[in-house]
């Protein structure tokens, strides 16, 4: 694999050497699946399902950690099939949805989810007037059960509409004791107290991670990036990978150890990782 600097190459080698103790965390949109106009059509890169199964054979566990509801990630990634295959082989796979609030494993094969947060129902009722005030009446409102996402991608001036909408949404969310998660031309409002950083930390504990590699592409991944950097400071080898999709936030690239070119780059990296894991610990 090509690394922009020798430090990244060293961090990658450290992670590879943790071998069967390694945990892999992967965001969904922009990381495993391309960003598309219609989020209901964001199917994973065609090589992803097989790669996840192969990878799970070699590491402690594989997790998909997404802002999406689990149900959508399962459908768009064939992840229920992937999970069943991995579990059959006695390996670990988990899908964490809604930033870690929902979970699905190949063992239970059902979605475990908390109740919707207080305040969400009243926030939902306020959305039409918020959109009107932001001049974004045609924004796409995506209810997610435990959260709601407002997308300006399909509007005429998506950036300007997003800039007008964000402060209004933030103010209303705060009033209803909800958290705001801005992304690329999307703002999500959800229960406070959970983020991908907490999800990653819980997973590292639960699976006794000896190493951790996480790849993500958007602002919702920042907490996971930060958590991995913290894990490294306390002695666990980690690698933070930014999947760069073209218009992603530069702040993520600055935090990351290694930048790859969107889902194609992630797939290429995982393929190389499998080869390198086999080189370190040959399989029989």
Residues in a beta bridge with 141: 150
Question: Please, what is the minimum distance in Å from the beta carbon of residue 184 to Mg ion?
Answer: 8
Nearer to Mg ion, 85 or 101 (CB): 101
Q: Binding to Mg ion (CB under 5 A): which residues in 51-90?
A: none
Question: Please, what is the minimum distance in Å from the beta carbon of residue 11 to Mg ion?
Answer: 22
Q: Binding to Mg ion (CB under 5 A): which residues in 89-148?
A: none
CB-side neighbour CA atoms (13 Å) of 273: 31
Nearer to Mg ion, 28 or 123 (CB): 28
**β-bridge pairing 238-243 and 258-260:** parallel
DSSP state of 24: E
Nearer to Mg ion, 106 or 183 (CB): 183
Nearer to Mg ion, 99 or 207 (CB): 99
Question: Please, what is the minimum distance in Å from the beta carbon of residue 249 to Mg ion?
Answer: 11
Q: Binding to Mg ion (CB under 5 A): which residues in 10-49?
A: 27, 29-30
Question: Please, what is the minimum distance in Å from the beta carbon of residue 147 to Mg ion?
Answer: 15
Question: Please, what is the minimum distance in Å from the beta carbon of residue 223 to Mg ion?
Answer: 13
DSSP letter for each residue of 106-153 = TTT-S-B--PPPTTHHHHHHHHHHHHHHTT-TTPEEEE-SSEEEEE-T
Q: Are 87 and 105 in contact (CB under 8 A)?
A: yes
Measured CA to CA, the distance from residue 6 to residue 171 in angstroms comes to: 44
Nearer to Mg ion, 68 or 201 (CB): 68
H or E segment to which residue 258 belongs? strand 258-260
**β-bridge pairing 22-26 and 211-216:** parallel
Q: Binding to Mg ion (CB under 5 A): which residues in 186-225?
A: 217-218
Binding residues for Mg ion (CB under 5 A): 27, 29-30, 217-218
């Amino acid at each position: 694999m090509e690394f922009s600097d020798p430090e990244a190459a060293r961090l990658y080698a450290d992670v590879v050497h943790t071998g069967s103790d390694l945990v892999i965390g992967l965001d969904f949109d922009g990381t495993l699946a391309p960003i598309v106009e219609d989020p209901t059509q964001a199917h994973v890169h065609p090589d992803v399902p097989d790669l996840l199964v192969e990878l799970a054979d070699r590491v402690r566990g594989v997790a998909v950690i997404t802002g999406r509801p689990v149900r959508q990630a399962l459908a768009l990634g064939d992840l229920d099939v992937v999970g069943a295959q991995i579990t059959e082989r006695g390996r670990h796979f988990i899908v964490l949805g809604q930033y870690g609030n929902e979970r699905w494993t190949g063992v239970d094969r059902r979605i475990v989810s908390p109740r919707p947060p207080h305040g969400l129902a009243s926030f939902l009722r306020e959305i039409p007037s918020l959109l009107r005030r932001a001049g974004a009446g045609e924004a796409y409102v995506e209810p997610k059960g435990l959260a709601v996402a407002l997308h300006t991608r399909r509007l005429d001036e998506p950036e300007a509409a997003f800039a007008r909408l964000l402060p209004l949404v933030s103010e209303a969310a705060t009033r209803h004791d909800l958290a705001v998660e801005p992304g690329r031309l999307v703002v999500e409002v959800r229960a406070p107290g959970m983020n991908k950083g907490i999800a990653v930390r819980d997973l590292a504990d639960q699976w006794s991670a000896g190493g951790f590699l996480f790849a993500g592409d958007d602002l919702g991944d920042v907490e996971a990036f930060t958590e991995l950097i913290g894990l490294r400071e306390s002695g666990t080898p980690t690698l933070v990978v930014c999947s760069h999709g073209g218009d992603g936030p530069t702040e993520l690239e600055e935090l990351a150890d290694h930048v790859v070119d969107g889902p194609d780059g992630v797939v290429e990296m995982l393929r190389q990782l499998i080869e390198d894991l086999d080189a370190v610990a040959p399989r029989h």
